[in-house]
């Protein structure tokens, strides 16, 4: 199918073995946020599957001056933003890794932080 030029900020989808595609979420720029939820765009990195939820990151969005998000979604769709990377934080998150014994997600951001050159972050589920 053709992508519309009116969007194009990233998509979470599932694809069956037989080739059936289901869109779980379409990302929009921050100013296109829906129903009071902050928008986000440019999903990046691997997804992590924990307790029937997918966790991932976006490079941008979350608020007007935010530098990315950590989000979760279910296999039925819908999205929940768990962390918004603000000015002063590490920003530009690039994927997640799970520590299964403690259900903590770890990742790295490419910019921001104390030295303004990125860093590592942790999110407890």
φ, ψ at 31 (rounded to 5°): -80, -5
**pLDDT at res. 42:** 80
Asked if residues 58 and 51 have their Cβ atoms less than 8 Å apart, the reply is no
Residue 33 pLDDT: 46
Task: Say which residue, 7 or 109, is predicted with more confidence.
Answer: 109
CB contact at 8 A, 55 and 99: no
Supply the pTM of this predicted model: 0.79
Average pLDDT over residues 83-104: 84
Task: Write the pLDDT tens digit of every residue in 18-62.
Answer: 999 999 888 876 544 455 555 677 888 888 999 999 999 988 776
């Amino acid at each position: 199918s053709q992508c519309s030029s009116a969007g194009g900020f990233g998509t979470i989808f599932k694809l069956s073995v037989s080739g059936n595609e289901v869109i779980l979420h379409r990302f929009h720029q921050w100013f296109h946020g829906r129903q009071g939820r902050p928008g986000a765009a440019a999903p990046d990195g691997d997804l992590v599957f924990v307790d029937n939820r997918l966790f991932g990151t976006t490079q941008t969005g979350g608020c007007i001056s935010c530098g990315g998000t950590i989000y979760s979604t279910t296999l039925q769709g819908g999205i929940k933003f768990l962390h918004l990377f603000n000015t002063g934080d590490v920003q530009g998150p690039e994927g997640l890794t799970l520590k299964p014994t403690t259900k903590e997600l770890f990742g790295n951001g490419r910019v921001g932080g104390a030295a303004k050159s990125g860093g590592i972050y942790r999110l407890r589920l």
